[in-house]
Structure 1
Amino acid sequence: MNKQVRKIAWIVAAALVFVATAGCVGGGESGAGENAPFRIAVIPVQTEGQLGEAMTRLQSILTEALDREVDIQNYPDYNGVVEAMNFGHVDMAFFGPLTYVVAHQKSGAEAIVVQLVKGKPFYHSYIITHKDHPWNTLDELFADPGAVSFAFGDPSSTSGSLVPGVELKSRGVLVSENESKLKELRYTGSHDVTALAVQNKDVDAGAIDSAIFENLVEQGTIDGDRLKVIWQSDALYQYPWAVKKGTDPDTVKLLQETFAGITDEAVLSGFGISGFAPASNEDYESIRAVAQAEGRLE
C-alpha cells in the first residue's frame, strides 16, 4: 500500500470513528434508545420543596409502569420547560395551559393527561388581596390604579398572567406585559410567591391559580383568614401533561392508564389535585384562541 492509499484509508477510518463516537454522545439525549431515562420536566407551579415528595413518588410509579428509568426534574421557569421540549431534551412535560399551546405550536407536543380538582378538569384565575384592605371588587381596587401595587406570577402562566392580564387590559389598567398605569407591577415567578407577597402586604393584590390557592391554604403555607378573593375568571381547562411529538401510541396509552390509576395521596396532595384523566390537544382550543389574540403564539 503506497503512502497516498494509506492516507486515504486513515482518513476514512477516522471519519468512521468520529461518526460512531457522535452516536454514543447522542445516546444521552431523550429518546436515544430504550435504555435511556424517560425524562419529564415540570413547571414551577409551587416551590420545589413542596413538590419534592410528590415528584419522587410519581417518578417511582412511572418507572415501574414503563419498566424504564424515569427522571422528573422541576424547572426554574415556564419557558425553560417549553424549550426543553422544543430541543428534544425531555420526553414528557407538565405544562400550564398557555405553555402547552406554545409548546404544541413550537414542537408538536401532545397533551395526553389532565389534572382533576375535586373530580373536574377545570380551575379559575383568582385575583386576591389582603383582608385588611377595603376592596371587595376590581372596580374598587382599580378606582385609583396609580396607588395600587400588583403581582402576576410567571409571564407564561395562564391563570397567573395571561387571563388576569386580559381582564386588566379590558379595564385600561394594563397596557402591555411591562407597561401599566399601576404604582407597581411585578412578576413573582410562581403562584406561592404571589400568595405570600399579598399576605405579607408586599403588594396590594395578585393573580393566582384557584386550585393552587386552595391547596396552599389547606397545607398551611398561607393563611386563608388573611386573604380574600375579589375576582374570579371563567372556567379554564386544567394543567396538561404532554408527550413529545412522535411518541408511540402504546406508550401514550400506558401513560394515560398509569396516571388515571394514581391514588397515592402524596402525589395528589403535592399537586393539589384529586386525580388524573386522559386529555387531548382539542381541550385547549379556548386557551389557544386567547393566546393567539394576545400575540403569544407569534
Structure 2
Amino acid sequence: MKKLGIVLMVLFVSILAACGSNQQNDDQASEDKKESKPFTIGVIPVQTEGEIDEAMTKLQGELSNKLDRDVEITTFPDYNGVVEAMNYNQIDMAFFGPLTYVIAHEKSGAKAIVTQLIDGEPFYHSYIITNTDNDWDTLDAFLEQSDSKTFAFGDPNSTSGSLIPSIELQDRGVFEDQDKNSFESVKYTGSHDATALSVQNNQVDAGAIDSAIYDQLLESGKIDGDKLKVIWESEKLFQYPWAVTKETDDETIDKLQNAFLSIEDESILNAFGASSFTKASNEDYESIRQAADKQGLLSE
C-alpha cells in the first residue's frame, strides 16, 4: 500500500511537470507564431510618381534584416486610408504626414518614433508657389483681386499642402473652404507633384506645396525651376513621422529606431528627400495638433 502511494505520487508529479512543459511549449509556440507574422507598414502617397516603389522594396529588406522578421510595406492611395488602417489594427506602423499623424494619435494612440532629416534638420515648410510668368512676387500681391485668381491645394489631409496654407488664407480673410472663398476657383490636386505641375502649366495661378518635395522635384528635373517661384513660406514644421501602434513594445521600438538611424542607402534616403533619419516623439507635433484643433479636425 505504501509503495502504491509512492507510485501515485511520482505519477502525479510527472503529470504536473508534463503540463508545465506543455504550457511552456504552447507559450513559446504562441510567441513564435506572433514573431512569424509580417510586421506591416503603411505609407502615405506623398507623390503620384511610382519611383518610390524601388526604395520601399529596399527599405523593406533593410528593416527585415534589422528586425529579424518579415516586413511588408504598402503604399496607400490616400492619406485617410493610412489613418483608418492603423485605427483598425491592419498595420503595425505608418509613415504619416504631420496632420494625419495627429489625427491617428487622437483616434488610435499612434506613437511617433522616427522622422527624416533634411540637410541635417527635422523641419520643412509649406510654400505657396506661382508661375514665373505672373507679375506677383508676394502673397499680398497675389491676393489683390483674388476673385480673378485660381488656387490649388494638394490632398485635403496634407499638412503643408492644405492645413497650414488654408489657415494662412483664412487669417487673411480670403478662404473658408472650397465653396466659401474669394477666389475664382479652388481645387485639390491630391498630391504635391500634381500641384507643382498644375502651377507650372498655368492650370492654376498658385498652389500650396511641401518645401522638401518642391526641392526634390526641382533636383530630379520633374518640374522646371525657371517656370516656378515661391511667394510665401510658412514657419518651420516638424518633418513627417513614422509612427507605431500604441501596443508596440519598447524593444520593438528600439529596434525600429536603430534600424532607421543606420540607413545609408541613397535610394531610400532620396525617396524621402532625406539626408538621414532621427528619433521623434509625440511632443514634436504639438504645433500641428494646435493647428488641426483650430480647424476642428480633431473633433470629427
TM-score between both structures, scaled by the size of structure 2 = 0.87
Contact persistence 1:123–1:236 (CA under 8 A): yes
Corresponding residue of 2:294? 293
Letter in 1 for 2:78: D
Corresponding residue of 2:170? 169
CA-CA distance at 1:175 after TM superposition: 1.4
Kindly indicate whether residue 219 of structure 2 is the aligned counterpart of residue 227 of structure 1: no
SS of residue matched to 2:63: helix
CA-CA distance at 1:176 after TM superposition: 2.3
CA-CA distance at 1:237 after TM superposition: 0.4
* Structure 2 gap segments, 5+ residues each: 1-29
Letter in 1 for 2:51: Q
Return the alpha-carbon distance in structure 1 between the equivalents of residues 129 and 152 of structure 2: 10
Return the alpha-carbon distance in structure 2 between the equivalents of residues 45 and 64 of structure 1: 26
Corresponding residue of 1:249? 250
CA-CA distance at 1:293 after TM superposition: 1.0
Corresponding residue of 1:130? 131
Corresponding residue of 2:52? 51
Deviates further, 85-94 or 269-278: 269-278
Deviates further, 229-238 or 39-48: 39-48
Contact persistence 1:112–1:278 (CA under 8 A): yes
Return the alpha-carbon distance in structure 2 between the equivalents of residues 115 and 104 of structure 1: 19
Letter in 1 for 2:95: F
Larger radius of gyration: 2
Contact persistence 1:129–1:204 (CA under 8 A): yes
Summarize the alignment of residues 7-156 of structure 1 with structure 2, pairs less than 5 Å apart.
Answer: 33-156=34-157
Contact persistence 2:124–2:239 (CA under 8 A): yes
SS of residue matched to 2:256: helix
Letter in 1 for 2:197: L
* Structure 1 gap segments, 5+ residues each: 1-26
Contact persistence 1:47–1:192 (CA under 8 A): yes
Corresponding residue of 2:10? none
CA-CA distance at 1:177 after TM superposition: 4.7
- Residues 1:178 and 1:263: Cα distance change in structure 2 (over 3 Å): farther
Corresponding residue of 1:258? 259
Following TM superposition, where does structure 1 have runs of at least 4 consecutive aligned residues deviating by more than 2 angstroms?
Answer: 176-179
Contact persistence 1:124–1:232 (CA under 8 A): yes
Identical columns (%):
60
Contact persistence 2:195–2:209 (CA under 8 A): yes
Contact persistence 2:178–2:187 (CA under 8 A): no
Letter in 1 for 2:238: Y
Corresponding residue of 1:184? 185
Return the alpha-carbon distance in structure 2 between the equivalents of residues 270 and 53 of structure 1: 9
Any idea what the Cα deviations from partners look like across 1:170-193, whole Å, max 9, x if unmatched?
Answer: 111101254211111000111011
SS of residue matched to 2:35: coil
Any idea what the Cα deviations from partners look like across 1:84-112, whole Å, max 9, x if unmatched?
Answer: 00000000000000100000000000000
CA-CA distance at 1:278 after TM superposition: 0.5
Letter in 1 for 2:119: K
Kindly indicate whether residue 217 of structure 2 is the aligned counterpart of residue 216 of structure 1: yes
SS of residue matched to 1:111: strand
Any idea what the Cα deviations from partners look like across 1:191-234, whole Å, max 9, x if unmatched?
Answer: 01101111111111000000000000001111111100000000
Return the alpha-carbon distance in structure 1 between the equivalents of residues 77 and 136 of structure 2: 33
Return the alpha-carbon distance in structure 2 between the equivalents of residues 93 and 269 of structure 1: 18
Any idea what the Cα deviations from partners look like across 1:229-279, whole Å, max 9, x if unmatched?
Answer: 000000000000000111010000010011011110000111111111011
Contact persistence 1:48–1:74 (CA under 8 A): no
Contact persistence 1:130–1:226 (CA under 8 A): yes
Contact persistence 1:54–1:271 (CA under 8 A): no
Letter in 1 for 2:155: D
The number of residues matched between the two structures is 268
CA-CA distance at 1:33 after TM superposition: 2.1
- Residues 1:177 and 1:275: Cα distance change in structure 2 (over 3 Å): farther
